[in-house]
């Protein structure tokens, strides 16, 4: 914990000195120079500049054939109408084919080499962090390019070009496969939340980037970090329910701000 306190003194001094300048990006950049442990939570907003539609930003909610996304992306829908769920996910995989990582994804991938420890938790299922070079990404809501047998849970990796999804049936037991994605009302992958919470509790700085912080339990991670004494930084053009809790709220697009840091 000693390391943590010396980091804290650094935070305090920097906040004193830098507050005159009031340049929050510089403040955070300065703190990053002496930080050892970083944790990052990302949401759909970090992929917005890659062309991936967000769920809630921009005033509307993602709606598919008249159904709000939290209805079509639900455990109940997999049980009642798996083909409709696939139609929605195949459509989204089609959109993703044209999307590449943006400067925010690449900057975070570089942070892995820059800090003693970096834990990246993403709510996104688009795979763009991995595509940008990030390793050990904790995908708390799964990955849209992987499917899972509804019967024996065997996993199948798809390429971005397998649209529509392929295989359609489990190669082992011939049962239907479903997207290997955590839908509303479903548990997160075994241990994923716990790993994220452990990193949140130990980090010097916690970044929450491009998330409306509405979906639990992922949205609890910044709160875990704050309670454990981390410096909490939000990067989002809009206010979120977390903004009041943050030490610094950098208002703007992730692609521009993260690469500046």
Would you tell me which residues interact with Zn ion (CB under 5 A)? 149, 151-152, 154, 170, 172-173, 175
Question: What gap in Å lies between CA 44 and CA 202, rounded to an integer?
Answer: 25
Asked whether position 215 contacts ligand BV8 by CB under 6 A, the answer is yes
Asked whether position 14 contacts ligand BV8 by CB under 6 A, the answer is no
Figure out which of the listed residues 210, 233, 249, 250 binds ligand BV8, where binding follows CB under 6 A.
210
Using DSSP bridges, classify how beta strands 155-157 and 142-149 pair: parallel, antiparallel or unpaired: antiparallel
Torsion on CA atoms 51, 52, 53, 55, rounded to nearest 10: -150
Across 246-260, b (16+ Cβ under 10 Å) vs e yields bbbbbeebbbebbee
Asked whether position 253 contacts ligand BV8 by CB under 6 A, the answer is yes
Cis peptide before 50 (omega within 30 of 0): no
CB of 208 to ligand BV8, least distance (A): 9
Give me the residue label for tokens 């024996």. Answer: 152
H helix or E strand, kind and range, residue 208: strand 205-209
- Per-residue binding letters, 117-146, with ligand BV8 (x by CB under 6 A): ------xxx---------------x-----
Answer with the entry of Zn ion, ligand BV8, none that 149 interacts with (C-beta below 5 to 8 A by kind).
Zn ion
Query: Of 125 and 224, which CB lies nearer to ligand BV8 in the complex structure?
Result: 125
CB atoms within 10 A of CB 112: 16
Figure out which of the listed residues 31, 32, 40, 44 binds ligand BV8, where binding follows CB under 6 A.
44
Residue with smallest beta-carbon separation from ligand BV8: 45
Torsion on CA atoms 178, 91, 101, 238, rounded to nearest 10: -100
Question: What gap in Å lies between CA 125 and CA 104, rounded to an integer?
Answer: 16
CB of 236 to ligand BV8, least distance (A): 5
DSSP state of 20: H
Q: How many residues bind ligand BV8 (CB under 6 A)?
A: 37
Nearest to 185 by CA among 217, 157, 150: 217
CB of 58 to ligand BV8, least distance (A): 7
**Considering 105, 141, 145, 165, which one is annotated as catalytic?**
141
Query: Of 146 and 226, which CB lies nearer to Zn ion in the complex structure?
Result: 146
Look up 145 and say whether it is catalytic.
Answer: no
Which parts of this chain interact with ligand BV8 (CB under 6 A)? 43-46, 48-49, 54-57, 69, 73, 123-125, 141, 181-187, 210-212, 214-217, 235-238, 240, 253-254
């Amino acid at each position: 914990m000693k390391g943590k306190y010396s980091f804290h003194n650094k935070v305090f001094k920097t906040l004193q000195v830098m507050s005159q300048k009031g340049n929050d990006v510089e403040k955070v950049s300065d703190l990053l120079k002496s930080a050892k442990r970083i944790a990052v939570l990302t949401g759909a907003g970090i992929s917005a500049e890659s062309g991936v539609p967000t769920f809630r930003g921009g005033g509307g909610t993602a709606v598919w054939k008249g159904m709000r996304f939290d209805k079509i992306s639900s455990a109940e829908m997999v049980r009642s109408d798996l083909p409709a769920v696939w139609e929605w996910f195949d459509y989204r995989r089609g959109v993703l084919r044209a999307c590449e990582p943006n400067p925010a994804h690449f900057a975070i991938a570089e942070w892995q080499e820059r800090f003693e420890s970096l834990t990246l938790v993403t709510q996104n299922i688009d795979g763009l962090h991995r595509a940008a070079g990030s390793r050990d990404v904790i995908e708390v809501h799964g990955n849209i390019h992987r499917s899972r047998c509804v019967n024996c849970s065997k996993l199948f990796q798809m390429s971005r070009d397998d649209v529509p999804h392929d295989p359609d049936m489990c190669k082992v037991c011939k049962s239907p496969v479903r997207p290997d994605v955590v839908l509303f009302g479903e548990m997160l992958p075994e241990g994923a939340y716990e790993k994220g919470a452990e990193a949140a509790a130990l980090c010097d700085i916690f970044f929450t980037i491009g998330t409306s912080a509405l979906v639990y339990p992922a949205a609890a991670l910044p709160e875990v970090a704050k309670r454990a004494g981390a410096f909490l930084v939000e990067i989002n053009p809009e206010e979120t329910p977390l903004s009041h809790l943050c030490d610094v709220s950098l208002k703007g697009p992730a692609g521009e701000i993260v690469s500046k840091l």
